[in-house]
Every structure is written in C-alpha cells, then in structure tokens.
C-alpha cells in the first residue's frame, strides 16, 4: 500500500536495536511524506475526522508514494483500492529501483533462483544450495545474508538443520471493518491515507477497502448480507485493524503454517472492532450494515527472532550467516514493516563493510 512507518520506539528501548540514523537517511533520500491533503480522499478524511472527534489520534499516513512520479512517466495519478494488486500509475517507489542501482554499480543478480539450504562446515557458512529453473547450483562466499522473508527464511534454516527457526510467529493479523454510507466510500480513494496507532491497546487502524473483485470473495464468508453489500461497494467505508498479535503457531517442517489467535489477541481484536464500529457510525455508516470481514495475515514475521536466533547485529550462531528481513522482528511490529526492514538492511551493510 506504499505506507512508510517509523520503527516502533520499543525496538530500541526493549531490544537495544537502534536504526534511527538509517531510517532518517531513507526518509530523506526517498522524501517520505503523506499524500497532499486533496489526494487523501473525502471518505477517508471523514473517517479520520470522526476518529479524532471521538478522541483518537488519527494522522496522515507517510507514504512511499509520490503523485509527481506518475506525471514524470506520462501517466495520471490514479491510486485506489486496487493499488494493493500492483501500482499501475507509477506513483509508488519500488525497492527494485535500488537493485537497478546495485547492478549499475557492478552487482550480479541471478533471477529465478530458489535457495534450498545453507551448507555449514566447522560451524561456519560454507555455501548456498538451490536451483535455478530446476538446475541445481551452489554459491560460495565469505558472508551470506538470507532475506527470503518471514516464511522463506525459517524454511531455509530448517532445511539447514538450525533448531528453533519457525517456532512461533507474528503476523500483524489484519482485518477490515465495513459500514455502508449514503455518500461515496473509501474504495475509489488511495488506501491507508490516514492511520491511528494505539500502541498501548495493541493495534493500529487505517482507512482501507478491499479491491472491488476481492471484496465479495471476503465478504461472502461472513454471510449473504455482507456479500450483497458488494452492490454498494462504492459506498462502503472501510477501516483496517492491524493487531499486535502474540507469538504463536509457526512454520512447520511438514510445510504447514499455523497462526492461532491467543486469548489476548481475541480481546484486543474485540476492543479494536468496537472502536471501529463507533468511528464508522460517527462517519455516517448505517449501524446495521457494519461487519468484520474474515481475518488475514499480512506480515509473516518474527520467525527468526532477534535475541533468540540472531543477535542484534543479525548474525546467526553460524559464522558468516546473517538474516535480514521481517523474520528477525522480536515481536509483532504492528505497523507497515518496510521502512524498518530497510533500516535493518542499511545498518547491517554498515556492520559488514566496517569489518572489511
């Protein structure tokens, strides 16, 4: 959704991980800021104002999105719910742009490579093993940084015989609450233009509607009434809940992923739902139309946690083997993850190059 969020303060306070300098560098380099007021959407702004009127601290969400980038590419800025299926108008910054820079500076990229495991010899990283389009390969280096994400990285570590990877995970369990409004809804507006962080209560809220075609697929699982609201999709107001979920479940060696809600998660979710319900009514939604779509997991993370399987420099117990992605989060981030992951990556790059 092109959202950028500063790392949570607890990362430094509770876990000693300080990436403030790196995050500030990225914020300046990419000129991260909220969308201008006139592009935040009338319905989204109505929801934020309703939240503020009820005493919640809604703020314009900083974005990796720049409307002027569309213009530079000869396109029209046209950001709406289906932006989550890929940016068509070119306004969203894409991390692949940095890959292009790395390639221009001499890096080699191998596309379509699937890493299976790391080979360890005498307690030290020796090689990466995998395949490229079915053809096996082995890659040797002094140092390797696994970045296969909250699901991929623990699987590679499990295949490599590292105990503990993938036991327990966080997900920032996510759900949208909808209510029908007599006016235009949030679907045709850029997603997540306004947010509200409630760290003490353990959830984040933001303005968001499922894309038109995805909406009925989700809503039908809540019954025929919510599904029929598809006909009123353009008038639905949507508020997303991201839950700071407890560590539970995990990535199992049989290939399954399980992420049950704990009793605490359920309590926080119920609280957040009640807050959303009040905000939607205040914003003009019809009380009887309000419902919660089925839960989704958007941020698989916390599967190779700092202080557990990697140290605060992101090194595993294996010499030369590092991890840098959402799997290292020590607890649920409960916010957009990308800026924090970039901060980790820049800090790790500094750490590794300072050792040369």
Ligand X SMILES: Cc1cc2nc3c(=O)[nH]c(=O)nc-3n(C[C@H](O)[C@H](O)[C@H](O)COP(=O)(O)OP(=O)(O)OC[C@H]3O[C@@H](n4cnc5c(N)ncnc54)[C@H](O)[C@@H]3O)c2cc1C
- Which range, of 24-32, 144-152, 221-229, 256-264, touches ligand X by CB under 6 A? 144-152
Q: Which residue lies nearer to ligand X by CB, 248 or 298?
A: 298
* Contact by Cβ (8 Å): 296, 217: no
User: What is the residue whose two structure tokens read 């030369």?
Assistant: 320
Among 2, 7, 238, 343, binds ligand X (CB under 6 A): 2
252-281 footprint of ligand X as x/- string (CB under 6 A): ------------------------------
Q: Which of 102, 114, 141, 213 binds ligand X (CB under 6 A)?
A: 114
* Of residues 27 and 298, the one with the C-beta less far from ligand X: 298
Q: Inter-axis angle of helices 20-29 and 338-354, to 10 degrees?
A: 110
What region, left, alpha or beta, does residue 338 occupy, with left being phi > 0 and alpha being psi -120 to 50 degrees?
A: alpha
Instruction: Show contacts with ligand X in window 287-346 (CB under 6 A).
Output: 298-299, 325-326, 336-338, 341
Beta bridge partners of 39: none
Write each residue from 74 to 113 as x if it is in contact with ligand X (CB under 6 A), else as -, in one continuous string. ----------x----------------------------x
8 A C-beta contact, residue 270 and residue 262: no
Whichever of 210 and 246 has its CB closer to ligand X, that residue is: 210
For residue 145, state whether it binds ligand X (rule: CB under 6 A): no
| Terminal Cα distance for the chain, rounded | 37
Report the DSSP beta bridge partners of residue 177: 239, 292
Minimal CB distance residue for ligand X = 152
Q: What Cα–Cα distance (Å) separates residue 290 from each residue in 49, 180, 227, 277?
A: 19, 7, 12, 7
Size, binding site for ligand X by CB under 6 A = 21
């Amino acid at each position: 959704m092109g959202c950028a969020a500063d790392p949570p303060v607890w990362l430094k306070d509770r876990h000693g991980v300080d990436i403030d300098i790196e995050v500030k560098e990225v914020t300046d380099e990419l000129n991260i800021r909220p969308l201008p007021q006139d592009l935040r959407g009338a319905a989204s702004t109505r929801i934020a104002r309703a939240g503020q009127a009820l005493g919640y601290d809604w703020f314009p969400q900083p974005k990796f999105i720049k409307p002027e980038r569309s213009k530079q590419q000869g396109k029209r800025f046209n950001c709406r719910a289906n932006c989550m299926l890929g940016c068509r108008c070119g306004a969203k910054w894409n991390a692949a742009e940095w890959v292009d820079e790395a390639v221009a500076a001499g890096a080699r990229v191998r596309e379509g490579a699937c890493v299976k495991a790391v080979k360890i010899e005498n307690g030290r990283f020796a090689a990466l093993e995998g395949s490229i389009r079915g053809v096996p390969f082995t890659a040797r280096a002094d140092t390797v940084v696994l970045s296969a994400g909250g699901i991929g990285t623990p699987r590679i570590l499990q295949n490599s015989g590292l105990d503990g990877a993938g036991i327990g995970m966080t997900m920032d369990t996510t759900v949208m609450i909808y209510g029908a409004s007599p006016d235009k809804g949030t679907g045709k507006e850029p997603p997540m233009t306004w947010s509200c962080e409630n760290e003490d209560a353990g959830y984040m809220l933001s303005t968001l509607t499922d894309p038109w075609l995805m909406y009925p697929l989700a809503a039908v699982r809540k019954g025929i009434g919510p599904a029929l609201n598809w006909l009123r999709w353009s008038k639905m107001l949507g508020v997303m809940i991201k839950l700071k979920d407890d560590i539970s479940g995990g990535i199992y060696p049989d290939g399954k992923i399980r992420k049950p809600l704990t009793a605490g998660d359920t309590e926080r979710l119920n609280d957040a739902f009640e807050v959303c319900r009040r905000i939607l009514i205040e914003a003009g939604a019809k009380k009887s139309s309000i419902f919660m779509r089925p839960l989704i997991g958007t941020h698989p993370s916390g599967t190779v946690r700092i202080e557990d399987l990697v140290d605060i420099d992101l090194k595993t117990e294996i010499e030369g083997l590092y991890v840098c992605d959402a799997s290292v989060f020590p607890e649920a981030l409960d916010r957009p993850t990308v800026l924090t992951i970039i901060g980790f990556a820049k800090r790790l790059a500094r750490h590794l190059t300072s050792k040369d």
